[in-house]
Amino acid sequence: MKRLGLLRHAKSEEHQPAGYDFDRGINAKGRRAAEAMGRYIGTKVAPFDRILASPAVRVQETLNIALDAMGKAAPVDRVEDRRLYLATADSILDVLTDLAGDEDSILLVAHNPGLEDAVLDHVPDDGSSPLRDTVAVKFPTGAFAVLEFDIDDWSEIDGAKARLVDLKRPRDLDPTLGPEMAN
């Protein structure tokens, strides 16, 4: 079995007309959300073996804050890959196949719509998962999901079905953090 944690970057700064999207950081609400999600992941979720992350500034800031909040539960093996910047669900699968190695559990930190689509593509739409229905409405900034796949190797993930075993949004942990906006 393989386990995939998906963490969407926290709420970002407003788009700057003269700046690049890649360089946007997270705002104060995003920092609070990243810390809350890190605490949740560190205390409620089994540790991950490796992190795969977009190198975008808002992802790196989210990840650094979340890792600090995770404490000893934080994975130490971290790989940044430019392909995860605004990646589609298919690109996410390519990165997993290329970089997950023999690890059984991966935390992937990136952007929407790729993360949301990855959940919707792999969790059956048969009415059996209320969590999937929540993702179908919105996978907001700072959201975290855990998928379990009955596969032996990450190379088998394309087309594999998964169970969505955990879903947390920042507002689930702190009502002052929601509702989230589209960033």
Kindly list the structural domains of the chain, giving each domain's residue range(s) and its CATH number in brackets, ordered by start. 2-177 (3.40.50.1240)
Within 10 Å of residue 124's Cβ, how many Cβ atoms? 12
Q: Is 99 helix (H, G, I), strand (E, B) or coil?
A: helix
The overall average pLDDT reported for the chain is 93
pLDDT in tens, 27-68: 999 999 999 999 999 999 989 999 999 999 999 999 999 999
Q: Are 147 and 44 in contact (CB under 8 A)?
A: no
89-135: per-residue pLDDT in tens? 999 999 999 999 999 999 999 999 999 999 999 999 998 899 999 99
- How much is the pLDDT for 182? 45
The 8-class DSSP code of residue 6 comes to E
> Using the 8-state DSSP alphabet, how is residue 65 labeled?
H
pTM of the model: 0.94
pLDDT at 181: 45
Residue 16, pLDDT > 70, answer: no
Tell me which of 147 and 76 has the higher pLDDT. 147
Confidence band for 18, pLDDT divided at 50, 70 and 90: low
Q: Structure tokens of 86?
A: 């605004």
Q: Are 6 and 123 in contact (CB under 8 A)?
A: no
Question: CA 46, CA 156: separation in Å to the nearest integer?
Answer: 23
Region at 16 (left for phi over 0; alpha for psi -120 to 50; beta for the rest): beta
